[in-house]
Amino acid sequence: MTSFLIFLGVIAAIVFWAIGIYNRLVNERNRVRNAFAQIDVQLTRRHDLIPNLVEAVKGYIKHERETLEAVVKARNNAVSSLDAAKADPANAEAIKKLGASEGALGAALGRLFALSEAYPDLKANQNMMQFQEELASTENKVAFSRQAFNDAVLSYNNTAENFPNNLIANTFSFDLASFLEIESEEKREVPDVSFT
């Protein structure tokens, strides 16, 4: 009888241990989702500013239609990538696509701002200066949100990969999350939005 109780005690301890690890993995995955929600807010704001920026610029640089179309196309791709990543922020492929599309959007905006430097009336336009300020502020918020997201991903991945947690993680399909990175050094730079 005593050995049976010891056996039951060991089984109960293993079950509680597994439940504890499972719950910790769920908590860490939820931290990743929460951190991504903050990125979503900032990227959505960025995406919402761009059509207004394009409209403000259109009247001044009518013959630069290609640049404007590239910004709009990059923005639409970034919105689609954000929607896909929102569905599952722990999906590594969706996060990589989001990083690539945001990098392309940043590059397109950089070209637009560089082009707008050649138009003194545009540089002095009050709406343009306001969009410049709001976009720069949003870019900073995106950077901070991305750092918080990447910290949450690091914590989640560490929890999922450490032994013996990895036994539970693999059993219940806790796939590793991916960091939100911008792929090249030139894409890491915030577009120069200075009109002074």
**Residue 49 falls within a domain, yes or no?**
yes
Q: According to the model, what pLDDT value does residue 181 have?
A: 83
Q: Is residue 149 part of a domain?
A: yes
* CA 100-105-110 angle, 5° bins: 125
Q: Does 17 fall in a domain?
A: no
Give me the tens of pLDDT residue by residue for the chain, a chain 196 residues long.
Answer: 788 889 999 999 999 999 999 999 999 999 999 999 999 999 999 999 888 888 878 777 766 778 888 899 999 999 999 999 998 888 889 999 999 999 999 888 888 888 777 777 776 677 777 888 888 888 889 889 999 999 999 999 999 999 999 999 999 989 988 898 865 444 445 556 555 5
For residue 31, is it within any domain?
no
User: Residue 107's domain is classified under what CATH number?
Assistant: 1.20.1440.20
Do residues 172 and 22 make contact, with C-beta atoms less than 8 angstroms apart? Answer: yes
Instruction: Tell me whether residue 93 is in a domain.
Output: yes
Give the model's pLDDT for residue 84: 92
175 in any annotated domain: yes
Domain count, the chain: 1
pLDDT at 184: 46
Predicted pLDDT of residue 90: 83
Q: What is the pLDDT of residues 122-159, one digit of tens each?
A: 766 777 778 888 888 888 898 899 999 999 999 999 99
Whether 6 is covered by a domain: the verdict is no
Hey, how many other C-beta atoms are within 10 angstroms of the C-beta on 53?
A: 24
Residue 41 lies in a domain: yes
Domain that holds residue 144: 36-182
DSSP per-residue codes, 101-155 = HHHHHHHHHHHHHHHHTT-HHHHH-HHHHHHHHHHHHHHHHHHHHHHHHHHHHHH
